Amino acid sequence: MTIKNRDSFLDNLAGQLGRKRNTKGVERPKWSINPQHRVLKDATQDELVEVLETQCKEIHTDFISTDKKGLADALEEFIDKYHGKSIVSAGGPRINEFGLAQLYEKMAADGKDIHLWDEEKGEENKVFAEHADIGITFSDITLAESGTVTLFNDKYNGRSISLLPQSYIAIIPKSTIVPRMTQATEKIHQQHQNGQLVSSCVSFVTGPSNSADIEMKLIVGVHGPVAASYVVVEDA
């Protein structure tokens, strides 16, 4: 781990600004205006779910809202829709909390190829994800305004799960829904201030991948998933 050429480079910048280098003591000012806090400021949790559902139409994403009991059915519905035979899912404690472990066992018994992301399995995780039909993860923070799931990628939730398979399903615990990106970045900022390690990869994912590089025509599904769906689960 090295830093090269820093002093001459930064001394030059300070010189251009007509002063000596500032190596400490620079404070972020209090900004004169903060419009980001006004967005959906007084919305209830149910209203945020509605905003999210409406936004899903704009981002070509299927949406369903259910409770813990209905989660298995909802997932099966999307898995059928995407013709899912092989499925890679994030691991971790929430698998049991939301009763997914049983669902996956049942599916495996029905002949589906299920892979839980597991640090012990190393490279095999990526290889499976690359050929999988569907990737499933939980959302850590969900942004109603833009229809975005925020993933703190880690040893349970590999970056590839929401990226390499043909289709992607995000399970959204209702309590994770916030108005917009502002609340997510505030939380990350706070975590950092509290000395917690920020995730090596924070992915804000908004629907399937797309491109408009050919004659400005929308192509849904370029490098990432071709289809995406969100399942909101009551978890209060």
Partner 1 sequence: MGIKISYKPYNERVKEGVDNSFMQQAVASAQGRFRSGRQNRADELGDWEDWRTLGEEIRTHTLQNIDYYLQELSENVVKRGGNVFFAETKEEANAYIQEVVRKKNAKKVVKSKSMVTEEIGMNEAIEAAGAEIVESDLGEWILQLDNDPPSHIVAPSIHKNKEQIQKTFAEKKGYTGTDKPEELGLFAREQLREEFLDADIGITGCNFAVAESGAVTFVTNEGNARMVTSLPDTQITVMGLERVVPTWEELDVLVSLLTRAAVGQKLTSYVTSITGTRLEGETDGPEEYHLVIVDNGRSKILGSEFQSALHCIRCAACINVCPVYRHVGGHAYGSIYPGPIGAVLTPLLDGYEDHKELPYASSLCGACTEVCPVKIPLHEQLIRHRQIIVEDEGMSPVSERIAMKGFAKWGASPAAYKMSAAAARPALKPFSRHETIKNGPGPLKDWTVNRDFPLPAKQTFRSWFQKR
User: Cα–Cα distance between 40 and 180 in angstroms, integer?
Assistant: 8
Distance, in Å, from the CA atom of 125 to the CA atom of 89, rounded to the nearest integer, reads: 10
Given 84, 135, 165, 207, the residue binding partner 1 (CB under 8 A)? 207
What whole-number distance in Å separates Cα of residue 132 and Cα of residue 86? Answer: 5
Q: Is 236 in the site for partner 1 (CB under 8 A)?
A: no
Site for partner 1 in 95-114 (CB under 8 A): none
The 3-state secondary structure of 26-54 reads CCCCCCCCCHHHCCCCCCCHHHHHHHHHH
Least distance from partner 1 to the Cβ atom of residue 204, Å = 4
Q: Does 50 bind partner 1 (CB under 8 A)?
A: no
**Alpha-carbon distance 199 to 195, whole Å?**
12
Please give the residues from 144 up to 183 whose contact with partner 1 meets the rule CB under 8 A: 145-148, 153-155, 158-160, 163, 180-182
- What is the smallest separation between the CB atom of 24 and partner 1, expressed in angstroms? 8
Q: Does 212 interact with partner 1 (rule: CB under 8 A)?
A: yes
Footprint (CB under 8 A) of partner 1, residues 13-32: 13-14, 16-18, 21-24, 26, 28-29, 31-32
- DSSP lists the bridge partners of residue 88 as 115, 135
Strand 134-138, strand 86-89: pairing:
parallel
194 near partner 1 (CB under 8 A): no
For residue 146, the minimal CB distance to partner 1 (Å) is 4
Considering the complex, state which of residue 66 and residue 185 has its C-beta at the smaller distance from partner 1.
Answer: 185
Query: Shortest distance, CB of residue 129 to partner 1, whole angstroms?
Result: 8
Cα–Cα distance between 91 and 117 in angstroms, integer? 5
